[in-house]
Each structure stands twice: as structure tokens, then as C-alpha cells.
Amino acid sequence: GAVVSQHPSRVICKSGTSVKIECRSLDFQATTMFWYRQFPKQSLMLMATSNEGSKATYEQGVEKDKFLINHASLTLSTLTVTSAHPEDSSFYICSARGQVLEQYFGPGTRLTVT
């Protein structure tokens, strides 16, 4: 099956700093990548969709200036949480899709802002 990696798996940062999370498709070309956020004991909420070489599309209520997404190549998308605050602490998960409709998910990044 297709493999998606995320890095880092866990990060702790101080309030006001920025954090970058990488999402890579390891064995296929991802024309579209997605970023989700998950709070404890809750479901996944889609934050944004990114297509290679174009601007990301953000879901309603997601601040695009706080959550910067770059899909620089067919195998890499990055999410940067700018000026992080404690309320940004969450589990961030990316997914990727190639030529077929099935999506594959990365292992997630647990962000803690102190």
C-alpha cells in the first residue's frame, strides 16, 4: 500500500514561535494533499486542501495566515503553524491522494505549545 510520512512526530514549542510540519508521499506522486486536525476523543476535521503548485484552499474558520501550507512538489507538503499559542496544541494529520480516489494518511504530529 501507499506510504505517507510526517515529520516531526511530536513537537513542543514555546508560545509565539512557529513550527513546520512536513508531509511526504514516499512511493507515489500526490497530486492532492490534505491537512486535518484532531482534538482528543474527537473526529478529524479538515483544515485545508493543497494541490501541487497552487495555493491551498482553506476550510471555513481556518486562519490561512496562521496555518501556512505549501505544496512544493508532488511528494511534499508542509504546514507551518505561525505564532503558535496554547490553543493550537493538537494532533495534526496529513493525507495524500494520487491518481486514484483512495487517500492515505500520515502517522500524525502531536503539537504542544507551552
Tell me which residues touch another protein (CB under 8 A).
1, 32, 34, 38, 42-46, 49, 57, 91, 93, 95, 97, 101-105, 107-108, 110
Does residue 107 have a cis bond before it (omega within 30 degrees)?
A: no
* Residue 24 beta carbon to another protein: minimum distance, rounded to whole angstroms: 15
**Element at 19 (helix H, strand E):** strand 19-25
Query: Which C-beta is closer to another protein: that of 16 or that of 107?
Result: 107
* Residue 14 beta carbon to another protein: minimum distance, rounded to whole angstroms: 23
Query: Which C-beta is closer to another protein: that of 14 or that of 101?
Result: 101
**Residue that has been written with the C-alpha cell 516531526 in this structure:** 8
* Residue 30 beta carbon to another protein: minimum distance, rounded to whole angstroms: 11
Q: What end-to-end distance do the CA atoms of the chain give, in Å?
A: 37
* Residue 65 beta carbon to another protein: minimum distance, rounded to whole angstroms: 22
Pairwise CA distance, residues 113 & 95, whole Å: 23
Query: Which C-beta is closer to another protein: that of 34 or that of 67?
Result: 34
Residue 96 backbone phi and psi in degrees, to 5? -140, 150
Task: For the beta carbon of residue 42, count every other beta carbon within 10 angstroms.
Answer: 10
